[in-house]
Chains A and B, each alone.
Chain A
Amino acid sequence: MSDLPRPEELFASIDYTPPKADWMDVPAVIKPGRYCYAANPESVKYVGLPNAHKWNPLDDDWGLPENWQEIIFNGLRERLHKFRSFKIFMDICVRCGACADKCHFFIGSGDPKNMPVLRAELLRSVYRGEFTTFGKILGRFVGGRKLTAEVLKEWWYYFFQCSECRRCSVFCPYGIDTAEVTMIGRELLNLLGLNIDWIATPVANCYRTGNHLGIQPHALFDMIDFFCDDIEDITGIRPEPNFNQKGADILFITPSGDVFADPGTYTCMGYLMLFEYLKREYGLSVTWSTYASEGGNFGFFTSHETMKRLNSKMYMEADRLGVKWILGGECGHMWRVIHQYMDTLNGPDFQSSRMETPVNPITGTVFKNAASTKMVHIAEFTADLIKHGKLNLNKKRNANVHLTWHDSCNPARGMGLLDEPRFVAKSVVEKFTDMPEGTIREQTFCCGGGAGLNAGENDELRMMGGLPRANAVKYVHEKYGVNMLGCVCAIDRAVLPNSMAYWVPEVSVCGLHELVANALVFPGEKERETDLRGEDLPGEDE
């Protein structure tokens, strides 16, 4: 982060006054720090996506195929027909501007093309100029324009400055969802091989090894085994997780980010401890999978078809192992895909008839809300266990934590998972304070790195986008002494530590099940001296 200005400087540079010139006359200049590197052609090729080629966003020549305009027009026409959402969103925006200052990237950058309405206009202007009668005749006069290479570059730059968080769609009087526009925009760019590497390579990895990080089965086993060592050191209890076990009741799938980097790893240790506890106390039968070892889905950021291809592994693996239902870990866009896409995409093709409406075998609770998809969020599962008094919890072990809750955008606005994690959190910590209204629940802010934008090279963009969330955290930190930001998203756990370090260095980031595991008391465990991070536990009498 050496090139990054200091927070005060970055903040001072935010200017909401748009330029004098009309936006169509302001060329998009691709700025280092705000864009992600081009996709590695090998990754694009591996999954068979079109026009894999080497290119650099800073070059003039992007290596476009000769007939690139035709490809885009055909793609656009096809999608207008396939997606009513897209067609309506192209047609009915009145440019009332309600969305303008709702985007975290606009709030943190002041770049007017980050106003959701203008981001959509980048595409809408071409739709108008090339597809509507009025626009074809009157052109620029009615806000229509032709598709040029400059326009295409502008699309690329700004559709990869949208994290598909849907906050704007909450405020739009017609529910126009920029995520939908960005998704289609990126799908069109992918027809020309113009993905970013932070998405394309995880997609290829996930296709091959089952997870974004490209962790092969033996390595995944070793990594989890290593967590078990740590858990044994801290608690005296050694979890014995199952992998690829046929005949298990439940298949557990979580984002691979939790296996890979702190503080997600502590959340992963939390899952392991919870399952071990439930196995010992109640005989719960859960298996992990190495083949379906990814909850997240970067295909979602590439195209609907790629999303389907990656997601299919969940049902295929559930079928192969013969499980009754699937339990999903803490992840953001993973849950938008599961809640709103999975059953439609892959249910008819791959969902096994042996799967059942999920029932918590310990409490008997029937998860009727997951009757068709047959997949339950771990916050729903744990909340149910706690409500039924099935977990022995000691909040005092988290006494040094003053928690606030970051509603991850996709579970909030693409699902509505708001009170389950809060219930769990409040059951395991003593001090909990929500951030101000307007920054949480359905109005929550993105971490700044969602939808595949958590690369290293776009750090300025991420810090700008992270400002609104960090600003609300700073408020509760200064006013109430909050020192921990909890979330149910692996991308959050990767992005927020950096953005906290930059804007509010006194606050750390954790997942929900890290806190659960810290509070969870195993029968016969040794007296714990540290929490899962290896930090001293607060004194019992403090």
Chain B
Amino acid sequence: MKALYSLFLVFALAAIALVGAGALGMEKAFGLYIPFLAVAVFVVGFCLRVVDWGKSAVPFCIPTTCGQQESLPWIKQSTIENPSTTGGVVMRMLFEVLLFRSLFRNTKVDLHEGTKVTYGSSKWLWLGALAFHYSFLTIVLRHMRFFTEPVPGLIAGIESMDAMLQIGAPTLYLTDLVFVIAVTYLFLRRVVVPQIRYISLVQDYFPLFLILGIAFTGIFMRYFAKVDIIAVKQLAMGLVTFSWNVPEGIGVLFYIHMFLVSVLLAYFPLSKLMHMGGVFLSPTRNMNCASRKFRHVNPWKFENVHYHTYEEYEDEFREKMVEKDLPVDKPLAEGAE
């Protein structure tokens, strides 16, 4: 049901663009104003969210240690999984952000006859997530050719790498293929795996469909509809150079694509997609694990805390302590008053 809602929502969004940019002829709104606004919402929203997180304190040093600590010199420390230096923490974060280290550990539990439990290696989620994020990144970088003139060598290089196989005309981008497969996998596991279906919310399906919608409109434009790429570039360049003009004859498909991208950008800061920023701030990963070596200072204080002092303790138990010859600070006569 939640998946259907999300799918319907994405269709509704596409319909808005279809009607708006098509029938109503609001090309300027869908080609320029809305995308511009969406980028603004994305940038400002993203920053606000990160600043908001930054305003919350980090009172304690609570990294999850995932390997041997630094202790005796002859015991081999796991310098990345349990870092005790800033360099180690940076390495840990790089592994986490670039290679999804933690997801790589994933296992799957199974029950067997005779009260037996097993944990099998399960790398599909890791592979799917990695394929998804990296092909998405490549696609975004590739698209920069629309916004730059001349196109930087790096972006042109990425594009030609991506089209390496030289299949069809226009040549097939590998990432398009990988991307669609990865997003489809991420969607299917949400529907097929009972536990994942059980925990999934509308806002888990929605971005997947939205992204899939963006991918399909983009693919259709490139390989089938073959939109006027020169006109698209004119529009894109107009966007980044603030010279607002809409070339004729781009076709409504493009506006649907643009609108869905705009929705994704604007939705981003309000949603779980903020994990992109949050992963850098997660205290269980980005802190030095040598918390007995370096004192972490809590920026806020506990107020009006009551302690049970030794004096109070001895006053209550002095007699019993003296009876067992346990040393006391005040002699018995004084305390027995």
Contact = CB atoms under 8 A, between A and B. Distances in A.
A395 to B, nearest CB: 20
Given A107-B117, A217-B324, A344-B297, A423 B283 contact: no
Contacts of A370: 292-293
Given A18-B195, A172-B102, A419-B75, A291 B313 contact: yes
Contacts of B174: none
A521 interface: no
B275 interface: yes
A347 B27 CA distance: 64
Contacts of A142: 201-203
Interface string A168-190: 01111111110010000000000
Interface string A79-117: 011111111100111111110111000010000100101
B195 A343 contact: no
A81 B74 CA distance: 42
A416 B289 contact: yes
B193 A442 contact: no
Interface residues of A, number: 117
A74 interface: no
A244 interface: yes
Interface stretch (B14-22, B147-155, B215-223, B304-312): B304-312
A296 to B, nearest CB: 16
A246 interface: yes
B82 A92 contact: no
B57 A81 contact: yes
A503 B196 CA distance: 30
B279 A369 contact: no
Nearest to B207: A94
| Residue among A107, A316, A368, A370 facing the most chain B CB atoms (10 A cut-off) | A368
A118 interface: yes
Interface in A302-320: 304-305, 308-309, 312-313, 316-317, 320
Nearest to B57: A82
Contacts of A141: 5, 202
A62 interface: no
Interface string A336-370: 00111101110110000000000000000101111
Contact of A416 (B60, B67, B201, B285): B67
A193 to B, nearest CB: 17
Nearest to A169: B64
B326 A369 contact: no
A51 interface: no
Given A101-B108, A244-B326, A84 B58 contact: yes
A111 B189 CA distance: 20
Contact of B195 (A16, A208, A312): A16
Contacts of B310: 291, 316-317, 320
Interface in A36-94: 48, 80-88, 91-94
B234 to A, nearest CB: 37
A9 to B, nearest CB: 10
A443 B59 contact: no
Given A18-B198, A173-B102, A94 B282 contact: no
B71 A442 contact: no
A438 B107 contact: yes
The contact size tier of chain B is: 35 or more
Interface string A372-395: 110100001001100100000000
B62 A340 contact: yes
Contacts of B72: 365, 380, 383-384, 387, 420
A369 B96 CA distance: 25
Interface stretch (A407-415, A452-460, A505-513): A407-415
A468 interface: yes
Given A171-B103, A305-B305, A316-B310, A338 B292 contact: yes
Interface string B188-202: 010001111111111
Contacts of B125: 96-98
B8 to A, nearest CB: 12
A504 to B, nearest CB: 10
B47 interface: no
A143 B103 contact: no
A7 B115 contact: yes
B302 interface: yes
B91 to A, nearest CB: 15
B84 interface: yes
Contacts of A48: 306
B255 to A, nearest CB: 26
A142 to B, nearest CB: 6
A216 interface: yes
Interface string B160-199: 0000000000000000000000000000010001111111
Contact of A419 (B49, B76, B81, B201): B76
B228 interface: no
B140 interface: no
A82 B283 CA distance: 13
Given A216-B320, A339-B292, 16 more contacts: A84-B58, A100-B195, A101-B107, A101-B195, A141-B5, A170-B102, A174-B275, A176-B282, A217-B321, A305-B305, A316-B307, A413-B66, A414-B65, A417-B71, A442-B64, A442-B65
25 contacts: A11-B115, A83-B59, A84-B58, A84-B281, A88-B281, A91-B53, A92-B282, A93-B275, A96-B103, A97-B125, A98-B125, A100-B196, A107-B109, A118-B198, A143-B201, A174-B279, A175-B285, A290-B317, A345-B60, A369-B71, A369-B292, A373-B292, A413-B66, A419-B75, A471-B116
- Which 7 A-B residue pairs are closest in the complex by CB-CB distance? A416-B69, A92-B278, A175-B284, A416-B65, A84-B56, A373-B292, A18-B198
